[in-house]
Amino acid sequence: MPFRFDNSYLQLAPELFSLVNPTVVGNPQVIIFNTPLAKELGLEEEQLEKIKLENVLAGNEILPESQPIAQAYAGHQFGHFNMLGDGRAILLGEHISSNGQRFDIQLKGAGSTPYSRRGDGKASTSAMLREYIISEAMHFLNIPTTRSLAVVSTGEQIYRESFVPGAVLTRIAASHIRVGTFEYVSNFQSKATLKQFTDYTIKRHYPALLDQKEPALALLDQVLEQQIDLIVNWLRVGFIHGVMNTDNMSIACETIDYGPCAFMNSYNPDTVFSSIDHQGRYAFANQPKIAVWNLTRFAESLLPLFDENPTLAIEKANQVLRKFQSSFESKWLQMMGQKLGILEVNKDDENLISNLLAWMFANKADYTNTFIELSVPNFNTASIYQEAPFLTWLKAWKTRIKAEIELPLASKILLQKSNPAFIPRNHLVESALSQAQENNELTAVKDLLAILATPYDYSVIAPKYQTPFLGDEGLYKTYCGT
């Protein structure tokens, strides 16, 4: 069998999941398959050829080693606590790769589960291809993320605002344990279950912490630091997750749940694309604040394990949470310094950074392309790059990195590995998706994926993929759970 399943989640308390099989679909067809990822996972070609891949990845056929489950979790959605759970995702099992790594193999859009509430358990082809494109783009941008192995069309129509073709995405993740999973266990299960689940999570993701005197506290600390790293990476490339509810924050600290996410074009810290985010809760520059809010919910879930004494438990949690601000600020400064090609950034560089951001904001300059300009002079043809405010900033920057005569090689290398030459531009993603959905034509999706596989390759000449949308960006809207 291609998958080597070892289903450790099944050993946990039965309240943490439901045994449920995917819903059989009419006419499954693999429309895209990630061969390089299959190789990385150690899924061998001859083994894959022995199974009916479209049946297995649509959920029509359950391999003998697989015991499908839907995971239970809760979560704060836009600040409100709800019971959730996998309403349209079914975990086939945990696959052990050739180098011994454990990966969840999950089918998203595979039919209803006990947690579906009013949802149909299904997903549209275009939403699943969107997740495929953007998660793969994030991976190649060197940002921790769940990945996409395949999209299988079901041959069935599902109803959204109109009838659209349905599909199932095979999602690969370090795990699907979320802040919301801890909220569920802490709120609705016993302290013993919480302890068992926390130990399980530590053993699975952070085994080095098992020897710590206070492993639960060490877990909070570790997740806090890794979430900071993740969000700083998002800010580096202009990524807006769009729905940072606590159920969409992974304890393995991968970017997860690609619903209304999008990439910012012109720089504006308040950028929001999600059609339901009216208050801008999940706006571009709000993401660090939301991360600490979510981590506070995580800490609350773990309180019983921090100390028998509730006051002391809170004190311990706060000691960790208080680190967020300074750690974030220092990692952000480091990252922005790298985006400017500064080899050793320090506090004095803050002005240089904020002046550039202020200029970008005032001039609606494209975030990605402005940073490209630094290592590729005259990349941008817009007149703002020839006018005094930008030229004055450029002069100060060149002095700082000693580039008055020539850009030092070390800075150039740093610039080009910190600043992508290619991001998934929203208009290109949408146009590729509509060709896939309306004409069953995957060429544009595949062309886009090919470009996004080498986002830091400045030798690739493909202006079409670098030109921002020239229309009214304010009209671009993204949607959850389609």
User: Active-site residue numbers?
Assistant: 247
Q: Any contact of residue 248 with ligand AMP (CB under 6 A)?
A: yes
Stretch that binds ligand AMP, among 78-86, 169-177, 222-230, 387-395 (CB under 6 A): 78-86
CB of 5 to ligand AMP, least distance (A): 22
Going through 174-292 in order, the beta strands assigned E by DSSP cover 239-240, 262-263
Give the shortest CB-109-to-ligand AMP separation in angstroms: 8
Q: Residues 150, 215: contact at Cβ < 8 Å?
A: no
Specify whether the CB–CB gap between 5 and 92 falls below 8 A.
yes
User: Which of the 8 DSSP states describes residue 266?
Assistant: B
What is d(CA 84, CA 183) in angstroms, rounded to the nearest whole number?
11
Distances (CA, A) of 406 to 167, 204, 268, 409, 472: 52, 49, 31, 9, 37
Beta carbons within 8 Å of 314's beta carbon, 6+ residues apart: 303
* Nearer of residues 88 and 331 to ligand AMP, judged by Cβ: 88
Helix (H, G, I), strand (E, B) or coil at 123: coil
Residue 86 binds ligand AMP (CB under 6 A): yes
Number of residues that bind Mg ion (CB under 5 A): 3
Tell me whether residue 163 is exposed, middle or buried, using C-beta atoms within 10 angstroms of its C-beta: 0 to 12, 13 to 18, 19 or more. Answer: exposed
CB of 22 to ligand AMP, least distance (A): 13
Least Å distance, CB 204 to ligand AMP, is: 22
Under the binding rule (CB under 6 A), the answer on residue 151 touching ligand AMP is no
Hey, how many other C-beta atoms are within 10 angstroms of the C-beta on 25?
23
| Cα dist from 162 to 124, 157, 442, 482, whole Å | 11, 9, 22, 11
Our finding on whether 148 is near Mg ion (CB under 5 A) is: no
The one of ligand AMP, Mg ion, none whose footprint includes residue 114, by CB under 5 to 8 A per kind, is none
Q: Does 259 bind ligand AMP (CB under 6 A)?
A: yes
Which tokens hold the place of 72? 């239970």
User: Smaller CB distance to ligand AMP: residue 85 or 215?
Assistant: 85
Residue nearest Mg ion by beta-carbon distance:
257
Span of 33-41, 242-250, 265-273, 320-328 interacting with ligand AMP by CB under 6 A = 242-250
Question: Which among Mg ion, ligand AMP, none contacts residue 84 (Cβ within 5 to 8 A by kind)?
Answer: ligand AMP
* Strand ranges across the sheet with 147-159: 17-19, 69-71, 89-96, 102-108, 163-173, 147-159, 29-33
Q: Name the binder of 259 from ligand AMP, Mg ion, none, CB < 5-8 A by kind.
A: ligand AMP
Nearer to ligand AMP, 261 or 372 (CB): 261
| Binder among 254, 257, 277, 366 for ligand AMP (CB under 6 A) | 257
d(CA 349, CA 108): 44
Residues with Cβ within 8 Å of 344's Cβ and at least 6 positions away in sequence, in order, are 337
Does 79 bind ligand AMP (CB under 6 A)? Our answer is: no
Tokens 């975030």 correspond to 367
In the list 21, 47, 97, 116, the residue contacting ligand AMP (rule: CB under 6 A) is 116
Segment interacting with ligand AMP (CB under 6 A) among 31-39, 80-88, 230-238, 321-329: 80-88
* 3-state SS class at 215: helix
Rg (CA), the chain: 23
Cβ-based nearer residue to Mg ion, 254 or 257: 257
- Cβ burial 384-421 (10 Å sphere, 16+ → b, else e): ebeeeebeebbeebbebbebeeebeeebbebbbebbbb
Is 372 one of the binding residues for ligand AMP (CB under 6 A)? no
Our finding on whether 85 is near ligand AMP (CB under 6 A) is yes
Q: Which does 94 bind (CB under 5 to 8 A by kind): Mg ion, ligand AMP, none?
A: none
The one among 20, 32, 43, 84 contacting ligand AMP by CB under 6 A: 84
Q: Which stretch binds ligand AMP (CB under 6 A): 44-52, 84-92, 306-314, 443-451?
A: 84-92
Tokens of 164: 């659209």
Among Mg ion, ligand AMP, none, what binds residue 288 when CB lies within 5 to 8 Å by partner kind? none
Restricted to residues 117-146, the positions that interact with ligand AMP (CB under 6 A) are 119-122
CB 112 within 8 A of CB 18: no
145 and 135 Cβ atoms separated by less than 8 Å: yes
Instruction: Scan residues 234-293 and list those touching Mg ion (CB under 5 A).
Output: 247-248, 257
Nearest to 232 by CA among 326, 325, 332, 140: 332
The stretch near ligand AMP (CB under 6 A) out of 85-93, 147-155, 162-170, 358-366 is: 85-93
Work out whether 411 is an interface residue with Mg ion (CB under 5 A): no
Q: Which is nearer to ligand AMP, 230 or 356 (CB)?
A: 230
C-alpha–C-alpha distance, residues 227 and 331, integer Å: 11
Shortest Cβ distance from residue 482 to ligand AMP (Å)?
8
Q: Is 370 in the site for Mg ion (CB under 5 A)?
A: no
Could you list the residues that contact Mg ion (CB under 5 A)? Answer: 247-248, 257
- The residues binding ligand AMP (CB under 6 A) are 84-88, 115-116, 119-122, 243, 247-248, 257, 259, 480-481
